[in-house]
């Protein structure tokens, strides 16, 4: 029997509240079909990883709620020289949304963003003026699943969990409400599939837990070129990537987020149901 490489997938802690097992099963099935042996390791205490051919951070859900433990894990993976996908340099870069400023400086169209060290009314007023927008979205620089993300209308108070905290301030992009948010998926640098995610009526968040829904989308040339510019600007080539973008008032696309740590990959929308994902992971070994 041919050798089957062992892959450790980092998963949430046992008390993690969100259901992740069904999504894990879909990804694990794609990896098994590619000839890989998959095992789970809790990301906060993964134990000895030296026997694995590859460590995948694919389900390290909750890392944004224990940032110190997350960065300590990245330091450990790097110091031990373990084979990791995505590479540790990519995971570290993608952990903090300060990467949006880096992408913008590299000429990539990103959602206009003002970083505030400690959000208060004065800094919010200043950010609105800089952005030329009255209705804004504030979010933590290290977040996932819309944790701590708020839409603030003119005259509305700053939410208690954001007050005095480091936050990113962005204009509410019109496209999120009219067309939705587009996600393009890449495995081994090759385009796989795309979806559009739309928020529930009255909301701006597209995540499923907030009533968002998704459907397959035929990515146009503008979207593909924008995503390619993102991949070209990352610290190392990602094995898997999800690139999220939204339109402005003129429907011009801007990067709102890049997911290279633990993204939902929506493999059921992929024409090959995840075969390219499995091959890309296998090739990373």
Give me the pLDDT at residue 209, please.
60
Contact 51, 6 (CB under 8 A): yes
Does residue 210 carry a pLDDT above 60?
Answer: no
* Choices 3.40.50.720, 3.40.50.970, 2.60.40.10, 3.40.50.880: CATH for 6-85: 3.40.50.880
Which of 76 and 174 is assigned the larger pLDDT? Answer: 76
Does residue 73 carry a pLDDT above 80?
Answer: yes
Does residue 282 carry a pLDDT above 80?
Answer: yes
> CA nearest 216: which of 276, 277, 268?
268
Contact 8, 282 (CB under 8 A): no
**What does the domain layout of the chain look like in residue ranges?**
6-85, 99-110+175-271, 114-172
99-110+175-271: CATH number: 3.30.470.20
% of the chain residues with pLDDT over 90: 76
> CA nearest 240: which of 215, 207, 274?
274
Span 168-197, mean pLDDT? 91
Burial class of residue 175 (count of CB atoms within 10 Å of its CB; 0-12, 13-18, 19+): buried
* Total-model pTM: 0.92
With respect to CATH, is domain 114-172 assigned 3.40.50? no
Does residue 219 carry a pLDDT above 60?
Answer: yes
Please list, in sequence order, all residues whose beta carbon lies within 8 angstroms of the beta carbon of residue 240, skipping any fewer than 6 positions away. 58, 85, 86, 185, 186, 187, 260, 263, 265, 277, 280, 281
Rg (CA), the chain: 19
Q: Do the domains at 99-110+175-271 and 114-172 have one common CATH topology?
A: no
CB under 8 Å, gap of 24 or more: what pairs does 96-101 form?
96/141, 96/142, 97/139, 97/141, 97/142, 97/143, 97/168, 97/257, 98/141, 99/258, 100/168, 100/255
Tell me: the pLDDT tens digits for 54-65?
A: 999 999 999 988
> CA nearest 71: which of 88, 56, 59, 87?
88
Does residue 244 carry a pLDDT above 60?
Answer: yes
């Amino acid at each position: 029997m041919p050798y089957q490489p062992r892959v450790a997938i980092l998963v949430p802690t046992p008390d993690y509240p969100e259901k992740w097992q069904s999504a894990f099963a879909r990804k694990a099935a794609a990896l098994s079909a590619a000839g890989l042996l998959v095992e789970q390791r809790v990301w906060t205490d993964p134990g000895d990883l030296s026997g694995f051919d590859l460590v995948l951070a694919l389900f390290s859900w909750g890392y944004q709620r224990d940032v110190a433990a997350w960065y300590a894990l990245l330091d450990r993976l790097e110091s031990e020289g373990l084979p990791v996908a995505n590479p540790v340099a990519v995971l570290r870069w993608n952990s903090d949304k300060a990467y949006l400023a880096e992408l913008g400086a590299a000429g990539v169209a990103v959602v206009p963003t003002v970083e505030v060290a400690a959000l208060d009314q004065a800094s919010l007023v200043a950010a609105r003026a800089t952005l030329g927008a009255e209705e804004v979205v504030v979010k933590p620089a290290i977040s996932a699943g819309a944790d701590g993300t708020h839409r603030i209308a003119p005259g509305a108070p700053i939410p208690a969990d954001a007050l005095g905290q480091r936050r990113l301030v962005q204009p509410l992009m019109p496209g999120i409400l009219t067309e939705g948010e587009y996600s393009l998926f890449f495995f081994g640098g090759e385009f796989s599939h795309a979806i559009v995610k739309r928020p529930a009526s009255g909301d701006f968040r597209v995540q499923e837990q907030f009533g968002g829904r998704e459907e397959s989308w035929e990515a146009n040339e503008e979207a593909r070129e924008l995503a390619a510019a993102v991949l070209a600007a990352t610290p190392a080539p990602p094995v898997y990537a999800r690139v999220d973008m939204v339109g402005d008032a003129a429907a011009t696309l801007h990067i709102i987020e890049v997911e290279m740590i633990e993204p939902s990959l929506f493999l059921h929308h992929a024409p090959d149901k995840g075969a390219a994902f499995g091959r890309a992971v296998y090739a990373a070994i």
